[in-house]
Amino acid sequence: MLIVQIEGNVKHPITLDPTVWIFDDRKILLDEAFQVEHQEAQSESEQEKPWNRDQYQQQLNPPINESIKRFDKKKVLESSYLMPLSYFLPNAEPNEDASKAILHTEQDSKEIDFHDLKTSLLLFALDGKPLTEDGPVHLYFGDGSNKHAPIKGVKKITIQ
C-alpha cells in the first residue's frame, strides 16, 4: 500500500497518497532540494506579496499540471522528487502541545522532534517511479542533515 497516515495528537487524522504528487506543482527536484539557492528562493516566495486573484485561485486547490507544461514530460517521468510535509500537516491540525513524532516503517519506529517533522521533505518518486520496495516515502530533514541516509519506508506518522 502506497499511502502514509498522519495520526495521534491531531484534530483530524489524514491519509496522504504520494502517488498523485507527481502532478503537483509544489514538488521539488531532489537534485535541487538542498542547494542554498533553492532554500533562499523558497523563503523569499513565502514572504508577503500583494493579493493576486490568479495566485489566490491557484492556492484554493493543490496546484496541478502547471509543472507538466513547464517541464519536458520525459524529464518529469525520469526525475526524483520531494514534497514538503508542511503543505499537509496543517490539514491534520496538530495540537499545540505536540512535541515529537514517531515514524513507523516496516521494520521499526524512529522518534524525531516535531519541529524537524514540520520542516521535513518526503521523497516520493525516484527516477520518475513511486517507491515500491522501500516506500511509500523516504523522510529527509529540511536542513539536509540526513540527505545521505534518509529514513526509508515511512508508512505512518504518529504525532505525540
Percent of the chain with pLDDT over 90: 61
Cell for 9?
495528537
Mean pLDDT, residues 119-130 taken together: 94
pLDDT digits (tens, 9 = 90+) for 14-24: 999 999 998 88
Rounded CA gap, 126 and 30, in Å? Answer: 9
* Residue 47 pLDDT class (50, 70, 90 cuts): very low
Rounded CA gap, 90 and 18, in Å? Answer: 17
Rounded CA gap, 146 and 19, in Å? Answer: 23
* Residue 59 pLDDT class (50, 70, 90 cuts): low
Q: Is it the case that residue 39 has pLDDT exceeding 60? A: no
Query: How much is the mean pLDDT over the chain?
Result: 84
Nearest to 1 by CA among 18, 23, 22, 24: 18
Rounded CA gap, 124 and 17, in Å? Answer: 10
